[in-house]
Amino acid sequence: MEMDPGQARGILVENSSCILLDVRELKERTLCFIEGSLHVPLSSLPEQLTALNPETPIISYCHHGIRSLAAVRMLRAKGFDKVSSMRGGIDLWAIEIDPSLTRY
């Protein structure tokens, strides 16, 4: 259900069909985001489910990993079996993978 940023990065490099789903609010995304991520705020996710394919692998992230876990639970309840949360969120990604990202 969870993976660390290094594992997420490896999956994204190996599987170009994997979606990196940013579930933070727009105000947060304007501060920083991971290149190539799809932005669907957690508050809008229920209305956006039809735009996502349940067969496509998804890695969700937020600021620290709490909302992304909520997104995983929501998606799994709707039949999305290939979904995981990135532990530590974009903050840990900035520490471990891309220190050029703004930390907030």
- Domains of the chain, earliest start first: 2-96 (3.40.250.10)
Tokens of 79: 């039949």
The pLDDT assigned to 21 comes to 99
3-class DSSP assignment, residue 20 = strand
Q: How confident is the model over 61-101, as pLDDT tens digits?
A: 999 999 999 999 999 999 999 999 999 999 999 999 999 99
Q: What is the pTM of this model?
A: 0.96
Measured between alpha carbons, how far is residue 78 from residues 33, 37, 51, 52, 64 in Å?
A: 26, 21, 13, 11, 24
Q: What are phi and psi of 91, to 5 degrees?
A: -65, -45
